[in-house]
Structure formats: C-alpha cells, structure tokens
Amino acid sequence: MSESILTNKIRFLVKPGGVLRGSIRVPGDKSISHRSIMLGSLANGVTQISGFLEGDDSLATLKAFRTMGVTIDGPHDGRVTVHGVGMHGLQQPSVALDLGNSGTSMRLLCGLLAGQGMNLTLTGDASLSSRPMRRVTEPLSSMGAAIDTTDNGTAPLHIKAVGHLDSIHYQLPVASAQVKSCVLLAGLYAQGESCVVEPAPTRDHTERMLRGFGYAVTTDGNRICLDGGGCLTATTIDVPADISSAAFFLVGASIAQGSDLTLRHVGMNPTRIGVINILRKMGASIEISNQLQVGGEPVADLRVRGAGLKGIQIPESQVPLAIDEFPVLFVAAACAQGETVLTGAEELRVKESDRIQVMADGLQTLGIDAAPTADGMVIRGGKMRGGRVDSHGDHRIAMAFAIAALCADGEIVIDDCANVDTSFPGFADLVNSIGMRLEIG
C-alpha cells in the first residue's frame, strides 16, 4: 500500500466548542532540536540535550548523523547524548540520507555537508521532494559547492566532493532563516569570512547555538558573519517548549470564551514572538511571567484567557517572526470581528503545502470569507460551520483546523493528518486533556 493511501486514512474528527483550561508544556522546539544534533555531532566532546523534540522531523536529523557514523544515545524522555566527532569526523554514508518531511533538515544539511569532501545524496518524502531547493544550492554553488538537483530545482540533492569552499558575502533575496543558516553552516568550512545580510530579521537559533558551542559569530544589525576553520566545543542544551506548537493553544484559548490556560517554559526568542505580537494587536489576553535565560535562549510561562479578537492589518515587520504560525493565525482571523489583511507572506506558498491556498480553501468550506492573494490573504471574520477539510499532509494546517472547531457550530473532519507527528507527537491526547474533543479516525 502506498504511503499516500496510508496517510490519507488518518483523520481528525473534532467536536465543536469547548473551553481550554489547565497548565501544560508543549513539546520541545523543533528548530533548536535540529541544530542541537547537527552542532553536537560536529563538536569535540559529549553534548547532553534535554527537552529534545521526539517528532519525525528532528528524528530524521538524528538518524542522518547516525548514518554518518555519529554515536547518539536516546532519545529517552527528551534526553539525548551526542558523542561529537569533530568538524571533520563524519563518515561517508553508504546510503542516501532520507530526511522524510523535514525541509529544515535538508536545507541546513545541504550547507553543512557541502564542504565535507564526501559524495552524498539527500532525499525526502513526496512533499519535501516538491519544495524549492535552489534557494540554498545557488549561494552554495557561489562558494564552490557542487550540488545537483532535479530539473525543477528540487530533491533529491546530490552533493559532490570538492577540494574547498570559498567564503561568501550573501544578500538574502527574501528573509529566510533556513537559507541564512545553510550559508553560515557552509561558512564553517570556507576559507575566510562569510557573511549573510538579511532583508528582515529571522530566527537566530543557529547564531545563538554556534556561540553556545564556542564558535565566534558577529552580528551587526542585519549582517551576520563568521570565519571558517574553527572548532565547536561540546555543551549542555535545554530545549525550550516550541512557540510554534504553543501558538495553537494561544489561539485556541483566545477564541474559546471562558478559557484560562498556562503554557510553561515556552521559548521566547525575539525572532520568534511574532505570533504573540499579532495576537495582542488583535486583542488577545496573554500574560508573560517567569522569564528566564536557558542555554542562551529566553523562556517564559504564558497565561492566555478568552478574549474578543478583532481583525487587523498584520504588520509586515511581524511576518518573518511568525511565518510558521500563520495557519492558526488565519483561524484567529476567521473567529475575529472584522477584517484581517496579511501581505508580504509569499514564503507561505512554498512550505509543506501552499499554506495560503490550502487554508483559504478550508476556511471557505467552513463558511468563512477568505480571499487568497499572491502574498497573503484577506479574511472577514464570521460564523464558522462544521465541515470536512483536507490538510494536504501539512501538520500545521491539520492542527490549525482542529483548533478552529473551538469556535465552530458543527464537527470538523480533517483528512491527511499523519504528518502531525513530524512536529507535535501526542497532540490529540494533549488537546483532549485540557477541554477539546478530538478523535482519530
């Protein structure tokens, strides 16, 4: 039986209404989990990780480094021990590295492996194999890397051994943390100083974690630079709860009147808090407490209560800071009073799915006036009915429509939900524990 048939058989059936109450900790941050395995593997010494996200995407990264000869113990209850092999200790794999559904794994590994002097192939599932990869292979080629894609610029990617990489000063054409990180990781193996200039701030987990492993990275405004030829020193990493996963509950408790929910130990990296800024602008009640610094990353507890949301013009400055949270922010807009307008988010069209079109289609099915545009959407809040929608295998869209049931007047059935486990294992059990009624069919 094909993968697509199996995937389509997993669906969510979500009863309408509900109130979210309690105190929960969502799974660990996926971005930080990926990078902890990558840098821990290249470090000298043993890196201890806690809070690691045991989802399919980050496990694909872990498996890839095991395939390249790195000894990794775990994960066991979020704890992982990585026995680093040093900057040049990876071994030639005998098989292609299968990265499943993880775009982060493929784009970051493309940079990290380009200067390793090995011949490798990076593959993924049907969704990953349809996503654009020239955005990383083109700057890498300018550094002297040799990487072949399909004629469409997609995976599989064939990385060929080269003698060395040249440094680069690269102006990002669009704000993208994955492209920035890819170039910086390749810069570790380049001769001289490599710099990336961003058109707008993006998540800075790579820069923070490199510094945590003792590697010098300089940031001057929107310019990030490092010198090649250094080394990484093993460290201890406590992965905070993922704000992208917390976002579903921030929206859910906001749209369900009478809710009072606390989210513990959430990562509050300033390049990731666009979802909080946008929801507060819409009128959400979100209190921040217990602010700490853990391993170079800020964390805090978030208390969110039901509030009447209003439609807004979403500031374009917040778009890169909330790029992964827009599926559920579209749900917030659908349940808000008035019109919400998003522009400057064309990046959403090349995620796990075309998130603009797929969310617009689903919201229209549920009775909401949602008009997609080239770089965003115009949503007029209204009464949401029940119905059946297709997530197109996109984990964030599946979870967003599950949350939508909180303000719907009928059951919502969501098809193609297997990939929820890529980022949020245990999602169904957690939402049911705090007041929703979700069944897996």
Which is the catalytic residue, given 57, 324, 390, 421? 324
Task: Scan for tokens 């959430």, then name that residue.
Answer: 266
User: Nearest Cα to 235, choosing from 41, 27, 72?
Assistant: 41
Indicate the burial class of 352 (C-beta count within 10 angstroms; 0-12, 13-18, 19 or more).
buried
- CA 13, chain centre distance (Å): 25
| Alpha-carbon gap, residue 20 to 393, rounded angstroms | 26
* Residue 263 near residue 302, CB atoms below 8 Å: yes
Helices in 77-133 by DSSP H: which ranges?
103-114
| Alpha-carbon gap, residue 85 to 83, rounded angstroms | 7
205-212 and 177-187 are packed helices; what angle lies between their axes, rounded to 10 degrees? 30
Task: Scan for tokens 């990794």, then name that residue.
Answer: 72
What is the identity of the amino acid at 375?
Answer: D
103-114 and 177-187 are packed helices; what angle lies between their axes, rounded to 10 degrees? 20
Indicate the burial class of 77 (C-beta count within 10 angstroms; 0-12, 13-18, 19 or more).
exposed
What sign results for the dihedral spanned by CA atoms 147, 149, 154, 155?
negative
Is 429 assigned a catalytic role?
no
Token pair for 374: 């080239």
| Alpha-carbon gap, residue 26 to 433, rounded angstroms | 12
Pairing of strands 260-267, 387-390: unpaired
- Edge-to-edge strands of the sheet including 12-14? 387-390, 412-415, 12-14, 438-440
Token pair for 269: 């990296």
Those residues with Cβ within 8 angstroms of residue 172's Cβ, 6 or more apart along the chain or in another chain: 179, 180, 196, 197, 198, 199
Q: Which residues are catalytic?
A: 324
